[in-house]
Structure 1
Amino acid sequence: MKNKRELGLLTVAHGVNDMYQGAVPALLPFLQAGRGYSYTLITGITLAATGLSSLIQPLVGLLADRRPMGWLVPAGMVTAGVGVGLSGLGDAYVWTWIAVALAGIGLAAFHPAGAMAARTLGGGDARSMSVFAVGGNIGVAFAPLFVSVVINGAGVSSTWLLAVPAVVMGAVCLVTRRSWQVITTTPPRTTGVDGKAAQTGPSDNWRAFGTLSVISVFWSIPYVVMGSLAALYVISRFGVSAATGSATLTAFSAGGVVGTLAGGWSAERWGRLTALRYGYLVSALAVAGVVLMPQIAGVLVCAFLYGTVLFVPFAAQVTLAQDYLPHRIGTASGLTLGVTLSAGGLLSPLFGMLADAWGIRAVLATLIGILLVPAALAWRLPEPRTAASRPAHSCKKPSDSGSPRYDQARESR
């Protein structure tokens, strides 16, 4: 792993940013208990967090291929924190919806620039991407505990306290601005300043990227649906409190931390395609355990296992997307992460209506079949044509970065 200090700072920022991604589903049981929202309205809030971001994130990726946009890392993180902080300050559903939508915009702005920087700093390997990704998983896993402590202590109107970590980390970014610029303002480039380098490397494989994007959609649906309904499922089935129900979400998110690290390791050892194919198959079995286990302890264990195996393919998907489009790294990052974080959210109101009609347990059971689709599609993916697309081969001129520290980092590699 290369440039450990810079990658570490970026990973911490990712953790703070994605804590607000996890804070949205963690708030849902408290909003339902305090305001009596239906499952349709609850999943509508999930849509708020992902609807605009589904449009914004790919656009950010396209722009990042053309000009440095590293400032979006701290700006997106602070925006996400402020949005979540505002969500409980008004009693009206529309106020909460708009505030959560603001948080979703911040989350969307962060990820393409962050993923590009992680690729550059880590040399493009799956283990480095998994380290970056696990920072986000830790943030998501910590969110239910953080939200529970704040809301149980001071009520829903105290959500402004949730914005404090983003403000603090934003201040850290300002204090360490020189180091932060090295991390975030040097997007990986596969074309030279004159554009000639694009003719010498591997061509973009849009067909494989398209298949991978469909797989990402079918990753997103089980992730978002479980995140939105897991706590509510345990509360309704076993009659426990909102705080106890959040333990299911914590178990699911904590499994994601383990799965992301295991996915990076397994992708390097057995190949990224293997991580995709078998990760989805085992995920379907874990969902079956969540639905069928008769005791809450068994459900918690299966939720942890489900989070683990669902995240095994994550780092592999991101690096594969970047290698399928070696001349459009920002586009690949924006589209892949945009689909991953947003597609399930766009469909979440539909699953909310089904939960109102059929019950949450029946909706969770449908995830078993949904997970078999990406498992089948993963067998159609080819290996990237060449490893020459990795960023270690791209930033060829010191003038590309404009930063002496970046030149030193290149020499250390």
Structure 2
Amino acid sequence: MEPTQTTQTSRTPSGRWSITLLSLGHACVDVYQGAVAALVPFFVSERAYTYAAASGIVLAASLLSSVVQPLFGALVDKWAMPWLLPVSTLLGGAGVALAGVGGSYALTLAAVAVSGIGIAAYHPEAARVARDVSRGSHTAMGWFSLGGNIGFAAAPLMVSAVIATGGLHASPLLVVPALAGAALCVAALRARVPDAASGGGPARVKETVGRDDWASFAKLSGAIVCRSIVFVGLGAFISLYASRRTGGGDAAGTAALFVLYLGGAVGTVAGGRLATRYGRIPVVQWSYALSVLAVAGVVLVPGPPLYLFVALTSAGLYVPFSLHITLGQDYLPRRVGTAGGVTLGLAVSVGGVATPVIGALADATSLRTALAPLIALPAVGWLLLRTLKEPELPGAGGGAGGGEASAATPPGPAADAAARP
């Protein structure tokens, strides 16, 4: 049955405006996660990096992010730190902007590592604020996630426009989205309704009800890691792979990366709508199962049809993206910062740890051979998700739909339509 009652935050103009601003700010942050992969072909062409060296840049952006992101999640579970949003946005942009300055490989690694730390600091607090404003609506969280997907999609276009024109030395121009994103974050924090803003004092952890289901969260996290390796691995090498498989050169590679990221925007919107109708768990399970076939098409099918399979892969990997976030937060209702950090940020960054292995294998064999193992990972994710059940939400009655209200939500379901920006 469609929910008919709304919470105060989701139905007020300020609540919808806050989600809109947070979504736009999220786009300005995640453009830098996409930018690192988009820079890889330029590092290969201008600096003659090997596959392994190029993948090391992706690793540098991901490794520190993967290590420190749970720490930031634990911190925001204890204290609300809204100031992290604009500060981390600026840090993420500054690192990428400096990546092309100078020719030192070590300095390039350091620059993208700084960017990774900024992105790691952003996601747990951003997920907490978005949950607070939306009162746990997974449709509203879908709109918030959509902003990040749009940022990913814009990254190859932005990088190509700047670097193809001015070379790697023009990379400081890439700081512009960070400046806009920091301003959007400040505006979003100011737009929150009074009872959703926690100022900077202790986070309202004690007000949550329910228990943390670590076993289910661990299975979900394992599936997310599989998804992340596939997505980041393809993101790092799809430009080079498509340009050679289609014979279209750099333009064909940029187009493939754009399709990979743009499909995520479509998948995220579809995920929220499908979950409302069929339930989160079935939608997530089917998405992983269908991704197996889509990734196989990317690796095995030559020529222009490659783009169709890239689009299907992107949609399959992103339909469950926002559902990962709400499921994770509902499995850990007392640690929503940690859950948000793992499902929203770590889900993207941890895949970078595997890219040097893909790069080394590509150097030793071929890029196609190196990408072939990615076909099996969505299947592993499906196996982990196969036994998951919807979280038991106090006051929401559980059910297949998962309930829009989270464990931290006051009694009464939130209306999806009212939560849309």
TM-score by length of 2: 0.87
What secondary structure, in the 3-state scheme, does the structure 2 residue paired with 1:90 have? coil
The answer to whether 1:272 aligns with 2:284 is no
- Structure 2 CA distance for partners of 1:174 and 1:49, relative to 1, 3 Å: same
Task: Name whichever of 174-183 and 61-70 sits farther off.
Answer: 174-183
Are positions 1:219 and 2:234 aligned together? Answer: no
Partner of 1:300: 307
Q: Which moved more, 1:360-369 or 1:178-187?
A: 178-187
Aligned equivalents of 2:234, 2:198: Cα separation in 1: 35
- 2:323 is aligned, of 312, 316, 319, to 316
* Aligned pair partner of 2:409 in 368, 371, 392: 392
Contact 1:71 1:185 in 2 (8 A): no
Secondary structure class of the residue paired with 1:94: helix
Alignment deviations for residues 234-266 of structure 1 (CA, whole Å, 9 cap, x no partner): 123334332331110000101000001111111
Name the structure with the higher helix share: 1
- Quick one: distance in 1 between partners of 2:189 and 2:344? 26
Question: 1:393 is matched by which residue type in structure 2?
Answer: P
Measure how far apart 1:348 and its partner are: 1.2
Which residue number in structure 1 is paired with residue 357 of structure 2? Answer: 350
Distance 2:394 2:322 in 1: 16
Contact 1:87–1:99 (CA under 8 A) maintained in structure 2: yes
Query: CA-to-partner distance for each residue in 1:67-111, whole Å, 9 max, x for gaps?
Result: 111111111111111111000011111111111111111111110
Query: 1:338 & 1:171 partners in 2: Cα distance?
Result: 21
2:243–2:253 CA contact under 8 A, matched in 1:
yes
Once the two structures are superposed, the pairs formed by residues 141-156 of structure 1 within 5 Å of their partners are 141-156=153-168
Distance in 1 separating the partners of 2:240 and 2:130: 35
The within-5 A match list for 1:13-162 is: 13-162=25-174
Alpha-carbon offset, residue 338 of structure 1: 4.3
Give ranges in structure 2 of 5+ residues lacking alignment: 1-9, 396-405, 412-421
Q: Partners in 2 of 1:143 and 1:35 — Cα distance? A: 21
Please say if residues 70 and 181 of structure 1, whose CA atoms lie closer than 8 Å, have aligned partners that are also in contact.
no
The answer on whether the counterparts of 1:69 and 1:184 sit within 8 Å (CA) in structure 2 is no
Q: 1-side partners of 2:317 and 2:164: how far apart? A: 30
CA distance in structure 2 between the aligned counterparts of 1:119 and 1:113, rounded to whole angstroms: 10
| CA distance in structure 1 between the aligned counterparts of 2:197 and 2:309, rounded to whole angstroms | 38
Q: Structure 1 unaligned runs (5+)?
A: 193-197, 395-413
What amino acid sits opposite 2:83 in the alignment? W
Identity %: 42
2:206 equivalent to 1:191: yes
Q: Per-residue deviation at 1:316?
A: 1.1
Equivalent in the alignment of 1:6: 18
Query: 1:188: Cα distance to partner?
Result: 6.7
Flag the 1:188–1:282 CA change in 2: closer, same or farther, 3 A.
farther
Letter in 1 for 2:291: S
Return 62-71 or 378-387, whichever deviates more.
378-387
- Note if contact 1:108-1:338 (Cα within 8 Å) is conserved in structure 2: yes
Q: Tell me whether 1:333 sits opposite 2:340 in the alignment.
A: yes
Report the Cα distance in structure 2 between the residues aligned to 1:184 and 1:315, rounded to whole angstroms: 23
